[in-house]
Every structure is written in C-alpha cells, then in structure tokens.
Amino acid sequence: MKKTAFLWLYIVAIIASLGGLLSGYDTGVISGALLFINESWDLSDSMQGILVSSVLIGAVIGAATNGILADIFGRKKIIIATAVIFVLGSVLCGFAPNIYVLIASRILVGLAVGIVNFVVPLYLSEISPKTLRGTLVSLYQWAITAGILFSYFINAVFAQAVYNWRWMLFAGVLPGMVLLVGMLFMSDTPRWLVRKNRIDEAKKVITKIDTTVNPDEEIKQIQLSLNAETSDNNTKFVFKKWMIMPFVVGIGIMFAQICTGINTIIYYAPTIFKTAGFDSNLNAIYATTGIGVVNFIMTIVAVFFTDRIGRKPLLYVGLTGVMLSLLALGSAFAFESVLGDNLKWVAVGSLVTYIVCFAMSLGPIGWIIVSEVFPLKIRGLAMSICTVANFAFNFFVVGSFPVLINRIGGAYTFWGFAAVSLLCIFFVYFCVPETKGISLEQIEQNWLKGVKPREF
C-alpha cells in the first residue's frame, strides 16, 4: 500500500472514529454531573438510576430503528445525522429546568449514542483492508475512551463553577460539532456503494483505500458475496439456519462487554470512590480522571496488537484480569472494617486493574467482532440488533447498580460481575471465531460452509 493511500485511509478512519467521542463523552460526563445534580434536586437511588440509564432508552430506539436506514441511505449520512441529534440533545440537557426535562433530553442524546455505536464500527469495517480491519475498528473504541477522558477533564474544570453540571452536559456540543464537520468531507463505504450499484464511486474509494488491489476484482468479490446465498430475495437469506451462530456470537460478545460491569465503573466511578472513603466530590472526580487516563492509554494495546496476535488471545487475558480485579474489589468492600482508610486505595488499585484489562480486550474487540461476523446483505440490520442488545444489557446493569450497592452491598455486587466474567471466558473459547487476517467475504463463506467457530 502506498504512503498516500495509507495516510488517506487513516484520516478517514480517524474522522469516522470521532463518533466514539459522542458515546464516550456521554458515558463519562454523567458520572461527575450526577454528584452535583443530586445536590440540586436530592434524588433517590432509584431516580439516580433512571437519570443515568435514561440515555439507554434513547440508545435502544436509535440502534433499533437505524440499521435499516443505514442500509438505505448509507453509513455516511446516518453518521452526520447522529452528530446533529447529539448537539441538539446536549444543548437541551444544559438548559433543563427540572429532572423530568433532563431525563427527556438525555433520551434524545441516547438516540444519537445508539446510532453511532453501530454505524461507526460498521463504516470502519467496510472501508478497511482485511490486514488493518482490527486496528482501524479499534480506533472507534479508542475514541470512546478519548471521549470519556475528555468528559472527566470537563467535569474537573467545571466542578467548582456556578451551574457546574449544566456546563458539563452542555459541553457535549464540542464533540458533536467535530464529528459533523469531519464527516461532511468523507466518502461512503465501497461495499454499500456496490450494493446500490454505484460502481464508479466504489472504484474510486477502493483505489484510495489500497492502491495494491485491483478495484474490479474487489468489486467482483463484493458482488459474489451479495449473491452467494440466494438469487431470489433477502427474506429467504435472513432466515437461513446458518445465520443463528453469527447472532449468537454478536449478541454474546455484547453481553460480555456490558455485563462484566464496565459501565457501572465508568458511570459511577466517583460514587464508588466516595463510598470507598474519598471525602469530597472534587477528590472523587480527580481519582476518576486518573481512571480515564488509564482507559485511554491501554486501549492503544488493542489498537496495535489485535491484528498481530489476534482477537481471542487478548480476550482471554483481558477477561481473566477483569474477573480477578472484580474479585479484589468485592473483597475490599467485604473487609471494609479491617481495611479502614485503606479501602479507598484498594478500590483505586482494583478499578485501575479492571480498566487496564477491559481497555485492551472487551472494549475494542467487542465492536471489532460484531462488525465482522455478519454477511453483507444484512450487516446494517444485524449490527443494529446487536447494538440494541448492548444497550438493553446496559440499561439493566446501569439502572440496577445504585439499588444493588445500597441493598446488597459492594461485595456481592462486584462478586456477581466476577462470576459473569468467568462464564464469558468459556463463551469466548467455545463460540467466538478468530477473525484476524480473514476477509469479510471469507468469514461469510465460513459460516455458509458450516465451519465451527474454533476452526476458523
């Protein structure tokens, strides 16, 4: 691949990945804002859970309704629409006069988050050469961690300001505008263009992506993939028996990504730190910012190594570390009376270890796998379904976390997440295929031929 094509490909990938800033910013900003919103309106634990998880209601709607739209209008236009929705929702959050308007505004923000979480990995997977696909899709998760880190810095900056939480939520306008402007200059993916019979446009994009491939041959392979299953209609294609396993993999990896507890850490890190003994909102926010820095840095591991050593080895290492750190965190709360003031430092160490292990594995690789395992004809719809599952799991986990912490305590809550992590290790071993270095078309052919996940 020539340097000019290589550079252009990375520019496209980085700009598209900025969609992750939206998801990451919303995920992180509410963690700090919640401390001050609660001071303004004295929310019950149930209402705190509703406020935090309300964004996931919109996310489910966005993910459920836009898979088909991405297949009809293209990946690029949907990403642009997402940026507009996110900017509008951030403005409304900043000016919300009461908790109910704030919840409604966060549902609107969630609509954008739901769309971006499937359409950006989809865009990246379809525009990437097979040798770089894992790396480029990983950039999306890296952008999510950048958004989380940015939101933590924003929280720290405005923590002592008047109307602090309003500024925190309003600042979401910035990542939304960056994505909007950047995507105006991008092309759509060659696979979508071929599907719409816009062959000349597809050739131009393929040539820009990789000058070493024959664009005519590449288009031929995409067309063969589109026609491989049936020459009749899409309905017959969707309900074939071989499609069951890709959905098991896609929905299962979303379960692993969420139900091992990541967003309880991201959404509630300051709350966890205060429970563990940090004496002020500001100190808890500063400690949380450190978590964001670790998350951002460690995602680089997956960006650089997922196409070198593979998806599954990173998942094994990451899930094992996640499980052990959750066991340690739960044990710290169980022996709180023995640890005394040291509890907060055990909590910090456990959370840092957790973030290190998650950031190098489940975070980026979950989205890589979902963007790879489905056939082209239904990839948009299938990723939409998996993203709905992601946010449904997220809604349950995040909404129930404050109640669990208050009713059964931190020990049993985090031990429960550790048990889920162990189950996910077995799931990866038996059900998840290794897709490193395999073209999207070949992955589809493997499913069609009945190749077992462990034999890919």
pLDDT over 50 (residue 232): no
Q: What is the per-residue pLDDT for 399?
A: 74
Range picked from 15-19, 196-200, 235-239, 301-305 for highest mean pLDDT: 196-200
Could you tell me if residue 202 is inside a domain? no
pLDDT over 60 (residue 300): yes
Q: What is the per-residue pLDDT for 1?
A: 55
Could you tell me if residue 203 is inside a domain? no
Mean pLDDT of 230-252: 71
User: What does the pLDDT look like over 439-454, one tens digit per residue?
Assistant: 888 888 888 888 888 8
Q: What is the per-residue pLDDT for 426?
A: 96
pLDDT over 60 (residue 52): yes
- For the chain, the average pLDDT equals 83
Mean pLDDT of 328-348: 77
Q: What is the per-residue pLDDT for 253?
A: 96
Could you tell me if residue 239 is inside a domain? yes
**Closest C-alpha to 137, from 295, 319, 266, 9:** 9
Domain that includes residue 384, residue range: 3-186+229-455
Mean pLDDT of 313-334: 92
Structural contact between residues 207 and 127, judged by C-beta atoms closer than 8 angstroms: no
Could you tell me if residue 241 is inside a domain? yes
Stronger pLDDT, 283 or 193, i.e. the higher one: 193
Mean pLDDT of 299-325: 89
Q: What is the per-residue pLDDT for 235?
A: 46
Task: State in Å, rounded, how far the first CA of the chain is from the last one.
Answer: 26
Mean pLDDT of 113-127: 84
User: What does the pLDDT look like over 158-167, one tens digit per residue?
Assistant: 877 777 889 9
Question: Residue with structure tokens 């239904």?
Answer: 378
Could you tell me if residue 218 is inside a domain? no
Q: State the Cα–Cα distance between residues 74 and 81, nearest whole angstrom.
A: 11
Q: What is the per-residue pLDDT for 233?
A: 47
**Closest C-alpha to 110, from 190, 165, 52, 56:** 56
Q: What is the per-residue pLDDT for 230?
A: 46
Say which amino acid occupies 253. Answer: I
What CATH number is attached to the domain comprising 286?
1.20.1250.20
> How many domains is the chain built from?
1
Q: What is the per-residue pLDDT for 397?
A: 85
Could you tell me if residue 388 is inside a domain? yes
Q: What is the per-residue pLDDT for 10?
A: 75
Question: Residue with structure tokens 């004496």?
Answer: 279
Radius of gyration of the chain (CA): 22
Could you tell me if residue 84 is inside a domain? yes
What's the length of the chain?
456
**Closest C-alpha to 108, from 65, 61, 73, 68:** 61
Question: Residue with structure tokens 């897709």?
Answer: 435
Percent of the chain with pLDDT over 70: 93
Predicted confidence band of residue 151 (pLDDT cuts 50, 70, 90): confident
pLDDT over 80 (residue 213): no
Range picked from 67-71, 198-202, 217-221, 373-377 for highest mean pLDDT: 198-202
Pair of tokens at residue 346: 């055990």
Could you tell me if residue 29 is inside a domain? yes
Predicted confidence band of residue 228 (pLDDT cuts 50, 70, 90): low
Q: Would the pTM count as exceeding 0.85?
A: no
Predicted confidence band of residue 239 (pLDDT cuts 50, 70, 90): low
User: What does the pLDDT look like over 64-109, one tens digit per residue?
Assistant: 776 678 878 888 899 999 999 999 999 999 999 999 999 999 999 9
User: What does the pLDDT look like over 246-282, one tens digit per residue?
Assistant: 999 999 999 999 999 887 777 667 767 776 677 777 7
SS3 labels along the chain? CCHHHHHHHHHHHHHHHCHHHHHHHHHHHHHHHHHHHHHHHCCCHHHHHHHHHHHHHHHHHHHHHHHHHHHHHCHHHHHHHHHHHHHHHHHHHHCCCCHHHHHHHHHHHHHHHHHHHHHHHHHHHHHCCCCCHHHHHHHHHHHHHHHHHHHHHHHHHHCCCCCHHHHHHHCCHHHHHHHHHHHCCCCCCHHHHHHCCCHHHHHHHHHHHCCCCCHHHHHHHHHHHHHCCCCCCHHHHHCCHHHHHHHHHHHHHHHHHHHCCHHHHHHHHHHHHHHHCCCCHHHHHHHHHHHHHHHHHHHHHHHHHCCCCCHHHHHHHHHHHHHHHHHHHHHHHHCHHHHHHHHHHHHHHHHHHHHHHHHCCHHHHHHHHHHHCCCHHHHHHHHHHHHHHHHHHHHHHHHHHHHHHHHCHHHHHHHHHHHHHHHHHHHHHHHCCCCCCCCHHHHHHHHHCCCCHHHC
